[in-house]
Each structure stands twice: as structure tokens, then as C-alpha cells.
Chains A and B, each alone.
Chain A
């Protein structure tokens, strides 16, 4: 038990480190590891390489780490909330809701030539995430079958995406390129100041999630048992929704909607740890989500360089099969029962 955890966490940490280095080295101009080291610690002689690493690749890689971890956590919280392993911010339309309000805010800000601070983007995304989440929760009071609720979430997602497309289509020409890249999901164009904002928000949320690990552990046995051992279920559920929405909103504000990470990573991490104990799964999800997004972003920008793929294209290729695997496994479990 214990050794398995140590090996799993050490493995995930090493993987994260290796992927981080690869993300800094590989690209249109490849930078050797030694040069990356010099650039990071300010002793580089090669100004171009140093610029590429510090201005472009480092913020992008750090964003993939922070946002990837945030997405996986957001998914894990939603899975806890709904007692369902395929719930996630993208599937339930939370990401698309955030996308819609961010697009609206961006268009309004641009048309009035106002600067859009990254904090304002997060705030706009949070409003949208909460709106979609509210719709899903409203739906869940009427619809009790989880599969139907998830289809409901997918529909809310489509609706929000359609409205976003509508806004983008009628936005002024010069805004379209930027909006379009963002609305399909991408880690490109993220600045170091953005990284700072997202790190603060995600770090605070991460602490919040850790504080919930105790009730989350009891909640695994269902609401009746959780409340019977002293969990205030109402407050707990509100906190789950708020934290998962903040996390999903932060991701969407900076990188647009990113698919499947929230569903696939928590599942892979639980299987790897062979445990659903939140004290282990929460940090595991963060590490796993970070590595998953680093890998996907590396592939997105290098596979068909100079053309970049949207991040969701790559995450879907790896994530969707995991979701199918979960569905098949659950079906088998049900047939056995």
C-alpha cells in the first residue's frame, strides 16, 4: 500500500519534470537542455534562445502545469458531487458557459477599446461557469438519471458554444483571429503575468480542495452515511460546486475550453494509486493533470509544426478512449451486480 503510493507519486513527479524540460527544449528552434538551464538562471550567452525559453515556452509550459492540474481537480470535484465517474467541467457544459461569458466580455471590452485584465477574464469566466452549473443543478432537481443529466449538460455546452460562435462571427475582423484561437482551446499567447494570476487563484482553490478532503472521504459512501457521521452535506455540496467552478473558469479564461482532462485524469490517477482516498487523489490529480496537459500541448504545437493543433484536439485523442473505458467497465460492473 504505502510503497505503491511512494512509487506512484515519485513517478508522477519525475514525469512532470521530464515533460517540463521537454516543453522548454522542443520547438521550432530546439534549445539544448544546458542552454535552457542557463536561460532559466540568467547566465545565458544566446539572447535568442534565452528569449524563446523565457518569453514563450516557460509561461506556456507553466500555464499547462497550473491549468492542467486545475482541470483535473475540477473534474474530480464534479465526480464527487454527482457520484459519477464521467462527470466533468467540459461534459457538463461548465467550460462552455465560461467560454460564452468570456467571449462576450472580450468583445465588449474590445469594442470600447478597454483593456481586459486577466483577473477580469477569470471573473467573467466564473460568472459563465456558475450559470451553466446552475442550469445543470436545476436540471438535476427534475432529472434523476445520471445519463440523462449528462446529456443535458452536453446540450447546455452546445448551446453556449453556438452562442459563442455567433458572437465571434459578428465580432470585428481584427478580433476574430485571437478570439477564434482561444475559443477552440490553446495554451499559446499566455504571458508571465497571466501565469501569476492563474497560479494565485489555482493555489488558493487547491488549498480549499485539500480542506474538503475529509468530508469528501466520507461522502464516498453516499449522502446518508456522510451526514450520519457529521458532514454538513448542504454546505459541503455548495463548496464543491463553487471550487470546481472557480477551477474550470480559470482554465477557460486563459486557455479556452479544454476537453476530457477533467474526466480522464482523475480516473487514471485512481487506478494508478488503486485508491479513491481524497488525501491521495487530490495531489495525484494535480500532478497527473499537469503532466497530461504538458504532453498534449507539446504534441499540439510540434506534431504538424508550424501549424498548431487546438489543445482539445489532442486531449480528446487521449481522453475520449479513457471515458469509453470507464463506460464499458461500469456497464460490466452493473451486469455483474
Chain B
């Protein structure tokens, strides 16, 4: 498999102080890779560094052969999109406008949308089933709907890879399933690479091609769900007593 993104001795953190790392692992083209681990393990910090929202404390991130640090913002935006939980709630902005923000790297000086851009916006909204929301204000929709609108916006960037930070956190069980199903389809049908953090190991197991387990700022285990979930590893990862694990998450 081809490597799309690769971390090389990457330490991540804030203001020059590392909170996690060093990491050295590849992210393959077209896979769904999920980062799991206890709160505060450094998953989100790692994800933000991979999205170039944070500068690495040490080491590098390679997008194919190119160093992420020297990739032009517009060029990066055409290849990598994010779905993070900190979207503002802008007044008087329709869902369609919010989705169309994803066309930013492709439009001209004044951001006017061509017919082609409009068609891509339509398609993106259909793909995640938010077409009927297009004229609604972005402030007036539910969390589940907002999350899908933000995903449609990411699709408009026509990226090779989408990074998502705990995309299912505020969703109820139906929207969780629909959202993850949509991501799975993107990977299987369109060959998009999906890299995300998830709170729920059970969901990670179902949706992922590979799972990366972060514990105390280190990559503790990386492999297929079957490899990672072998035995009571999850109990160990989250520091959960084995009897409790068996009661709530055990196989039998």
C-alpha cells in the first residue's frame, strides 16, 4: 500500500513543549485509521499537528514526499480537509454557504462560485444527505446535522485525506451510525483516506481498517482491529479493571 501521510520522529505539543511523541508511522492511501486512547493521551494534539494547525515540536510530517511545513496552505487545502469540533456559529449564514466554504482553494480572487463549483457543492451535500438543509441557517440545525454539513464542506475541498476529531461525540446512536457509514463509503468507494480520533473503541473496531492506540503520549499499539482488540488489551489501554471490562465490554 502507498503511504500518503507519514510521521517521522514527530513530537507534538504547545509552545515548544511536547505532550506526545515521538511518533513514526505511516498512514496509507484509502484506509480508515482511527486513533483511540484515554483522554489527555495526546490524540487531538497529534491530529492538529497532522492538519498543520499546530507546528511540530520536533520531527516532521510528510505528505507523500513533501514536508508539510513547507507545503503552501492553498495546495494543502486541496489535498487535506478537517472536521473539527470548534466551528463557530456564524449568524446569517446558510448551510449551503457553509458547505461552499470548502471550495475556497479553487475559486478566484473574490470567491465567486462557478457552475462547476455549484455542482460540486450539490454533490457533496447529496453524499452526506444534507441537501434539504441548504437554505436553513447554519445556527438553526441540530448537532448531528451540523456535523454532516461540516463534512460536506470538507468533501467540497476534494481532498485525498480527511482528518476528523471525535466526529461522533455529540451525535445520538442513529447519527453516529450514519456518519461512520458515510466515512466508510468515502474510503471504499472513492479511495479517500480517513484519519480520525474516536471516543468509543467499539465504534473504532467496526469502522477502521487500522487502529492506533495512544497511551501516555506514545503509540502503544498499531494494527488491524482484530490485532488491537485481542484479549483484554482495551482494558489495559484505558486503565480499566478487567472484571469491569468483562462485565461491560467482554465477548461472552
Contact = CB atoms under 8 A, between A and B. Distances in A.
B68 to A, nearest CB: 13
Nearest to A222: B88
A220 B101 CA distance: 10
Contacts of B87: 221-222, 224-225
Interface in B60-106: 73-74, 76-78, 80-82, 84, 86-93, 97-98, 101-102, 104-105
Contacts of A275: 92-93
Contacts, number: 87
B53 interface: yes
A218 B97 CA distance: 9
B107 interface: yes
Interface stretch (A38-46, A227-235, A311-319): A227-235
Nearest to B81: A228
A214 B77 CA distance: 15
Contacts of B139: 333
Interface string B139-175: 1000000000010010001000000000000000000
Contact of A270 (B77, B91, B111): B91
B73 A224 contact: no
Contacts of A220: 88, 90, 93, 101
Interface residues of B, number: 35
B73 A230 contact: yes
B103 to A, nearest CB: 8
A214 B111 contact: yes
Interface string A64-92: 00000000000000000001010000000
Given A217-B101, A232-B73, 19 more contacts: A85-B91, A211-B109, A213-B110, A214-B111, A220-B93, A221-B87, A224-B53, A224-B82, A224-B84, A225-B82, A227-B53, A228-B53, A229-B77, A231-B104, A270-B92, A271-B92, A275-B92, A276-B90, A277-B93
14 contacts: A211-B109, A214-B107, A214-B110, A225-B82, A225-B101, A228-B53, A230-B77, A271-B92, A275-B92, A275-B93, A276-B93, A279-B110, A279-B112, A333-B139
Interface of B: 51-53, 73-74, 76-78, 80-82, 84, 86-93, 97-98, 101-102, 104-105, 107, 109-112, 139, 150, 153, 157
Interface of A: 83, 85, 210-211, 213-214, 217-218, 220-222, 224-225, 227-232, 270-271, 273-277, 279, 333, 337
